Amino acid sequence: MPATFKANLLATSIRTPPILGAPKSVDPDARVEAEDVVQLLSQPAAIEASTAAPSTANEKISCTYFAKADPLVSKHAELTKTQMAKQFDLRYRDLRDIDLRSESVTRILVRPATILVQFFDLCLLIQADEALLVDGVSKDPAGTGNKSAGVLEHDFKKRLVGINSNDAAIVSDLPYELRAVEAALVAVLSTLREELVEARKQAEHSARQLRLESGLAAAGLDLLFERSRRLGQIEQKARLVRETIREVLDTDEDLAAMYLTDTGVGKPHDVSDHQEAEYMLEAYHKAADALVESASAAIGVIRKKENTFRSALAVQRNQIMFLEARVAIHTLGLAAGTLVAGLFGMNLINYAEEAPWGFPAVTAACVVLSSLFSAYGARKLRRIQSLHEIQGYKESRR
């Protein structure tokens, strides 16, 4: 902010009104507001912190420490975003969304001394000798957050603790920071895989339960739609993970800067020296891509079954509609015939009561008139039905 603008804003904030007649005292609220403006202008970091969302800079966030020297022991602490930024050498804007539990927040930020990994419910700050797992805002003592967050964090803690232990199933020569990133990716992808398997089983079960004659076709179709929508959400999350990994793979500077241990001892990697990190991220990029393909295939199968059932339901609905139309047409024809009988039943003189041909003639007229109306209506109905079938055939060929 330019110095001239600060001076003008400060002068405008503390300017007192002109004295007209008796002197007037300065409003205390205006003086307090002017002091706040001076303090705000003198501390640019306060401006950035004041726009933080969704929690303020002084709000405590529950965290878990994992140290490289003692991986079997985790320490819990409550830190503010300002303390995290100072301790991990990050900017405040990098930590703005660390307490945001959303299905659309995925990022891997590589900074000179820290790697920030955030995937949905998992947020991790990694340095060369320690890692900080952000559990969430500490004002939620009841633990009403997302259930998958607890499962994800527990799985991550288990992998990170076992990553340096003698009982580890997989021994890796990667530095600590890359192994921590790998543990986070494994936790995220394994959770997505479990969600995909469960959602696919539920969707297939709902598809098998669809029956036209059950009387609950609409409810079953709505349930199948919800299952399909859940599969779509999992596919979208897998796509976000894949795109986030792809962004890091496309940036050689970030790949080389991920070696925090070597950078800390004065041996930074060249821009082209990042083979281990690239191989690791490519492996998990392929795993995320496989999840996307599996989810897409499951959604395609479920949607085909859903469309088939909807078509059968539409055919059944059309059959009922045409049946009602036939009944209405024959009712109209019968009503037209009874009109003639009603005219002769009015006890008016028509010179046909005593004629020998009166009854047969009236009866024949009623039958002929009813038949004409019924035949005309049935012909129109068949024409409409044939046009509807042709239109449905064309739509099925598309």
Indicate the number of domains in the chain. 3
Domain membership flag for residue 331 = yes
Domain interval for residue 359: 321-397
Per-residue confidence (pLDDT) for residue 74, from 0 to 100: 67
Q: Looking at the structure, do residues 59 and 166 belong to the same domain, yes or no?
A: yes
Q: Looking at the structure, do residues 34 and 90 belong to the same domain, yes or no?
A: no
Residue range 364-384: mean pLDDT, rounded = 83
Rounded to 10 degrees, the C-alpha dihedral 290/296/302/303 comes to -170
Percentage of residues in the chain having pLDDT higher than 70: 70
- Local structure of 188: helix, strand or coil: helix
Residue range 59-72: mean pLDDT, rounded = 78
DSSP-derived letter for residue 258 is: T
Q: Looking at the structure, do residues 35 and 143 belong to the same domain, yes or no?
A: no
Lowest mean pLDDT among 214-218, 318-322, 376-380: 214-218
Per-residue confidence (pLDDT) for residue 55, from 0 to 100: 47
Q: Domain boundary at 102, 137, 171, which? A: 171
Per-residue confidence (pLDDT) for residue 392, from 0 to 100: 60
Q: Looking at the structure, do residues 38 and 64 belong to the same domain, yes or no?
A: no
Tens digits of residue pLDDT in 110-127? 999 999 999 988 888 999
- Type of residue found at 241: V
Lowest mean pLDDT among 3-12, 168-177, 342-351: 3-12
Q: Looking at the structure, do residues 7 and 82 belong to the same domain, yes or no?
A: no
Domain membership flag for residue 228 = no
Q: Looking at the structure, do residues 57 and 166 belong to the same domain, yes or no?
A: yes
Domain membership flag for residue 94 = yes
Q: Looking at the structure, do residues 33 and 130 belong to the same domain, yes or no?
A: no
Query: CA of 180: how far to CAs of 83, 101, 108, 326, in Å?
Result: 22, 21, 12, 72
Q: Looking at the structure, do residues 37 and 127 belong to the same domain, yes or no?
A: no
pLDDT band for position 246 (cuts 50, 70, 90): very high
Domain membership flag for residue 266 = no
Per-residue confidence (pLDDT) for residue 199, from 0 to 100: 93
For the cut 80, the answer to whether the pLDDT of residue 45 exceeds it is no
Q: Looking at the structure, do residues 100 and 31 belong to the same domain, yes or no?
A: no
- Type of residue found at 288: A
Q: Looking at the structure, do residues 71 and 92 belong to the same domain, yes or no?
A: yes
Domain membership flag for residue 106 = yes
pLDDT band for position 317 (cuts 50, 70, 90): confident
Per-residue confidence (pLDDT) for residue 396, from 0 to 100: 56
Domain membership flag for residue 111 = yes
Domain membership flag for residue 261 = no
Domain membership flag for residue 305 = no
Query: CA of 108: how far to CAs of 24, 105, 116, 150, 262, in Å?
Result: 58, 10, 6, 21, 19
Closest among 136, 247, 239, 238 to 190, alpha carbons compared: 238
The answer to whether residues 154 and 207 touch, using CB atoms and an 8 Å cutoff, is no
For the cut 90, the answer to whether the pLDDT of residue 378 exceeds it is no
Q: Domain boundary at 171, 202, 234, which? A: 171
The answer to whether residues 183 and 155 touch, using CB atoms and an 8 Å cutoff, is no
| The residue to which tokens 């950035």 are assigned | 48
For the cut 60, the answer to whether the pLDDT of residue 352 exceeds it is yes
- Local structure of 87: helix, strand or coil: helix
Q: Looking at the structure, do residues 65 and 14 belong to the same domain, yes or no?
A: no
Does residue 313 or residue 387 have the better pLDDT?
Answer: 313
Q: Domain boundary at 151, 171, 191, which? A: 171
Q: Which residues of 141-151 are buried (b: 16+ CB within 10 A; e: fewer)?
A: eeeeeeebbeb
Domain CATH number, residue 131: 2.40.128.330
The answer to whether residues 156 and 136 touch, using CB atoms and an 8 Å cutoff, is no
pLDDT band for position 217 (cuts 50, 70, 90): confident
Q: Looking at the structure, do residues 166 and 63 belong to the same domain, yes or no?
A: yes
Give 126's strand partners: 115, 131
Tens digits of residue pLDDT in 20-30? 444 444 444 44
**Mean pLDDT over each residue of the chain, to the nearest integer:** 76
